[in-house]
Amino acid sequence: MKTVLLVHAHPDPHSLTAQLATAARAELRAQGHEVIQSDLYALGWKAVYDEHDFPDRLDRERLSFVAESGHAFGTGAQPDDVRAEQAKLLAADAVVFQFPLWWFGMPAIMKGWIERLFAFGLAYGWRGAGNRYRYGEGGLAGKRALLSVTAGGPAADYGPRAINGPLDDLLFPITHGTLFFAGMEVLPTYAVYGTGHIDAGGVDAAKAGLAARMRTLFDDAPVPYRPQNGGDYPDRHVLADDVAPGVAGLRAHLR
Amino acid sequence: MKTVLLVHAHPDPHSLTAQLATAARAELRAQGHEVIQSDLYALGWKAVYDEHDFPDRLDRERLSFVAESGHAFGTGAQPDDVRAEQAKLLAADAVVFQFPLWWFGMPAIMKGWIERLFAFGLAYGWRGAGNRYRYGEGGLAGKRALLSVTAGGPAADYGPRAINGPLDDLLFPITHGTLFFAGMEVLPTYAVYGTGHIDAGGVDAAKAGLAARMRTLFDDAPVPYRPQNGGDYPDRHVLADDVAPGVAGLRAHLR
């Protein structure tokens, strides 16, 4: 039995997002897993990361998010909502993010969940060692992560040469830059397209597809991003010349 | 004389973000332009896009953001804060976004400004014609946009083969997927790196660099993204075979 945190973001309890979250939860429970949920709109989640996140300031004059984040996380002087959500995150063996793609990213309310929870000393600056541990190592290592997204537009807009760009590239700041950065094993994104005109059969297929992914959540191979400290980045910044020679851009970071 | 909207997002009035916004404003005014500002933290901007954005609902049972957005924008039944910020956006000849890069994207408060202002009928679904007008055409056509970002890490982490990925690729969902999508001419991003350890000379250089960009804001060539209706996407979805043949991914959408 594993513990899975399901984070979702849509205010309508009848939305496709809510239906997919319900389907995921049911399947995970059927598999014997414990499911904990963060329904961000229902929680009234505070999206804005600000001075109220640091009740015991290191410096009351100037606000450095990095410094205050490290201090707040390190001393436990964090707001109750952050502490409660971090406890769920830390208890989870896997985190599933269910959200509608808004302007090719997460809704602001979910981005704010990341910003407020992914503290210095946990998701970055692990062990107080700057960037020594990141991309494959860090405070969230050993946990799996899956993005499950719904897109209003058709799949044809997200192909390798399609006008929006490939979905994996658009989500790279989240999958690679946030989740893998913090040490998580990121699974291939689950996407449902064309939700602007989806019918009942489409909803059923979307739920069934997500349920299938829930059955293999702990078996599927993660996206093979290159770990920082695996040898491909000798100086921790740039790929060695003999790694993916001649390849530039996001795809170079896939083994 | 042009009108420039400066949108910025950091709660500390002494932050580098605030200092850069001040430097940009001073230079734009020295050039004879009118500057309007949206200091999102000072405004107490509501980041979360939710049912309160639609005071006159089409459907009180189910919440479709697309349908309600089109109705609210089309009828003018929008919250006062959205109406006021949209008026600034519509009055602007150029919009400068000044923000710290948080998890390789905009702070949630600024993402929420986009979500709440970029309505159906304005930034997408222009003229009620679905995706007929997007990427180079749309309700924000004729306006320029510039991202001005500060990154804590070194420039070495953002090179063509560097571990974070190139900054232009990481920001593509914003520059191409949001601003160019809505019709804006997007200028090359202005970036300041290494702000985690910046000194007074670095701050001065950062301000001077941004001021220089403000002097050429209406002269610089935009990023040459391919317009949807310029012939490169015959079906409006996928690049024609003879356009950038063999190239896939985000870079294929640059002329």
**What single letter denotes the amino acid at residue B225?**
Y
Which B residues in the span 69-98 are in contact with A, Cβ-Cβ below 8 Å? none
Residues A27, A112, single domain; the answer is yes
Residues A94 and A180 in one domain: yes
**B233 and B173 housed in the same domain:** no
Residues A156 and A250 grouped into a single domain: no
Instruction: Tell whether A248 and A167 lie within a shared domain.
Output: no
Three-state secondary-structure class, residue B189: coil
Q: What pLDDT is attached to residue B5?
A: 99
Question: What is the Cβ-side half-sphere exposure of residue A115, based on CA atoms within 13 angstroms?
Answer: 28
Closest Cβ opposite residue A108 in set B14, B48, B157: B48
Mean pLDDT for chain B overall? 98
User: Any idea which residue has 């309160």 for tokens?
Assistant: B52
Q: What tens-digit pLDDT sequence spans chain A (255 residues)?
A: 999 999 999 999 999 999 999 999 999 999 999 999 999 999 999 999 999 999 999 999 999 999 999 999 999 999 999 999 999 999 999 999 999 999 999 999 999 999 999 999 999 999 999 999 999 999 999 999 999 999 999 999 999 999 999 999 999 999 999 999 999 999 999 999 999 999 999 999 999 999 999 999 999 999 999 999 999 999 999 999 999 999 999 999 999
Instruction: Give the DSSP H or E segment for B100.
Output: strand B94-100
Mean pLDDT of B233-251: 97
**Do both B205 and B125 map to the same domain?**
yes
Tell if the CB–CB gap between B49 and A108 is shorter than 8 Å: yes
Residue B178 banded pLDDT, cuts 50, 70, 90 = very high
* A167 CB-near residues (< 8 Å, 6+ apart): A149, A151, A158, A189, A191
Distance from CA of A176 to the nearest CA of B (A): 8
Confidence of residue B119 (pLDDT cuts 50, 70, 90): very high
A191 shares its domain with A148: yes
The 10s digit of each residue's pLDDT in A87-121 is 999 999 999 999 999 999 999 999 999 999 999 99
Write down the pLDDT at residue A154: 97
Domain count, chain A: 2
Cβ contacts of A69 within 8 Å, gap of 6 or more: A53, A54, A119, A120, A121
Q: For residue B160, what are the domain limits?
A: 3-223
Q: What is the mean pLDDT of residues B58-82?
A: 97
What's the CA gap between B27 and B37, in Å, rounded?
14
Instruction: For chain B, report the end-to-end CA distance as a whole number of angstroms.
Output: 30
Tokens of B135: 């990427």
Residues B105 and B174 in one domain: yes
Contacts of B12 in chain A (CB under 8 A): 62-63
| Domain CATH number, residue A106 | 3.40.50.360
Cα angle B26-B29-B33, degrees, rounded to a multiple of 5: 145
Query: What is the token pair recorded at A229?
Result: 């400290």
The identity of residue A58, as a single letter, is L
Residue A207 touches chain B, beta carbons under 8 Å: no
Judge if B77 and B191 occupy the same domain.
Answer: yes
- Claim to verify: residue B240 and residue B218 sit in the same structural domain: no
Instruction: Give the model's pLDDT for residue B121.
Output: 98
Identify all chain A residues contacting B238, using CB atoms and an 8 Å cutoff.
156, 159, 161-163
Q: Touching check for B250 and chain A: CB below 8 Å? A: yes
Interface predicted TM-score (ipTM): 0.98
Same domain, A146 and A239: no
Q: Would you call A170 an interface residue with chain B, using a CB distance cutoff of 8 Å?
A: yes
Shared domain for B86 and B194, answered yes or no, is yes
Report how far residue B33's alpha carbon sits from residue A253's, in angstroms, rounded to the nearest whole number. Answer: 43
